[in-house]
Amino acid sequence: MLTLPYLHAVRRTLPNVTLDFLTRQEVAAIPKGVRLFDRVFEIGGGRRYRRQLLSALGLLPRLLLGRYQVVLDLQRNRVSRLVRMLLGPTAWVEFDRYSPSPAGERTRRTIEAAGVGVAEVLPGLQLTNPEAGSEQLARGGWRRGNDLVLLNPGGAFPDRQWPVAAYVSFAREFAARRGHPTQFVVTGLPGIRDKTDALKVALGDQMVDLVGHASQVEAAAIIKRCVLAVSEDGGLMHVAWALGVPTIGLFGASRWVWARPHGTFSELVLACTQPDGVCMHGKCEGGWDRSCLADLEPGLVVDAAVELLQRVRTSPRIIRSEGCQPAE
């Protein structure tokens, strides 16, 4: 997801080139569902290297027909490197995996190293079916005309998670301060079902529960309708950001310096006290025995959200080279 706004900038800079995309099968739906690529190729095999390798080699005859002059390797893993070498392009570049900069910024640098200038990167990818997910929203109880706010309690590890009670307090205070009918939508995988059920009990019909009931493309279209996304470090945070939705990123035990949303339409709310967010595997490196986010006050997040929405009303949404300063 992080690469898509930058590739959209490539498309705007070079509108007449053929732009194809190679990605894993399980995350190909959204790239295929946006107006951006000529073709999307899918590598199967899940997360198993040997199966990925066999799938990539099976795609090779079709990829060779593309006679690609340039390959932008925006992953730099074993499979992507092998594919690049076998394609033998005239020019190629590889992603910088390790510098302490946002992944989006490193993507921009990679593309520019190929000689393609992407000085202005804008969010707001266009979906091929913007009405996807409408039926799910209606069945979930969304009242058309109400503002939608995405809540994403989807952090992969306990030390990346904000307590459910904090989400409830945030929702109540934000809705009161918003002064406009507002509902909160939660979507994603069934693994967050316990949290979703607790949110539904607390928020009642203020919450639209779509967990397990929306495909990737439907979830993207639903998120694009939202006026705000409040998310732990996870995939839906990047989806919201790539689609240009004002995004609050809640970061605990994550490498926030890599994964943070950035630009004029996002805000990083930081609980981690480690320099550059060095917690790589969802476990606090500072020795805390509970989540860094456990003591993050909902009022602070409400303040950040209100200020962010005021900012996007008066400023264009642009992905800048440097991220916004975190709210600590």
Identify the CATH number of the domain in which residue 293 sits: 3.40.50.2000
The alpha-carbon radius of gyration of the chain (Å, integer) is 20
97, 234: one domain: no
Bridge partners of 39, per DSSP, are 20
> Does any domain span residue 125?
no
DSSP letter (8 states) at residue 324: P
Enter the DSSP assignment of 323. P
C-alpha torsion sign, points 142, 224, 216, 323: negative
140 shares a domain with 15: no
Asked if 80 and 73 touch (Cβ cutoff 8 Å), the reply is yes
Per run of 10 residues, the mean pLDDT along the chain (length 328 residues) is 93 94 96 96 94 96 96 96 96 93 91 85 90 94 95 80 94 93 93 93 96 94 97 92 94 79 87 61 61 86 96 89 45
Residue 320 lies in a domain: no
**Residues 148 and 44 placed together within one structural domain of the fold:** no
Separation CA 71–CA 65 (nearest Å): 14
| Counted domains in the chain | 2
- Answer yes or no: do 61 and 156 share one domain: no
For 163, how many CA atoms within 13 A lie in the half-sphere containing its CB? 12
If asked whether residues 162 and 220 sit together in one domain, one would say: yes
Phi, psi for 194 (deg, rounded to 5): -60, -40
Q: Is residue 274 domain-resident?
A: yes
Task: Say if CB 226 and CB 150 are below 8 A apart.
Answer: yes
Residue 92 lies in a domain: yes
The verdict on 90 and 143 lying in the same domain is no
In a shared domain, residues 196 and 297: yes
Q: What is the pLDDT of residue 326?
A: 41
Shared-domain flag, residues 33 and 150: no
The answer to whether residue 118 sits within a structural domain is no
CA–CA separation, 72 vs 60, rounded Å?
A: 16
Query: Is residue 219 domain-resident?
Result: yes
Residue 194 sits in the same domain as residue 75: no
Check whether residue 142 and residue 247 sit in a common domain.
yes
Burial profile 108-129: b = 16 or more Cβ within 10 angstroms, e = fewer: bbbbeeeebebeebebebebee
54 and 200 together in one domain: no
Distance CA 252, CA 9 (A): 31
Q: Are residue 222 and residue 305 in the same domain, yes or no?
A: yes
Residue 239 has φ and ψ, to the nearest 5°, of -60, -50
Residue 311 to residue 264: CA distance in whole angstroms: 8
CA dist., res. 71 & res. 76, Å (int): 11
- Which of residues 113, 145, 173 is at a domain's end? 113
327 part of a folded domain: no
pTM summary value: 0.89
Residue type, 234: G
DSSP-assigned letters across all residues of 74-125: SS-SHHHHHHHHHH--SEEEE---SSSS-HHHHHHHHHHHTT-----B---P
What is d(CA 251, CA 42) in angstroms, rounded to the nearest whole number?
Answer: 31
Residue 134 sits at the vertex; the CA angle it makes with 129 and 135, to the nearest 5 degrees, is 125
- Domain with 160, as residue range(s), is 134-314
What is the distance of C-alpha 266 from the center of its chain? 12
Residue 227 lies in a domain: yes
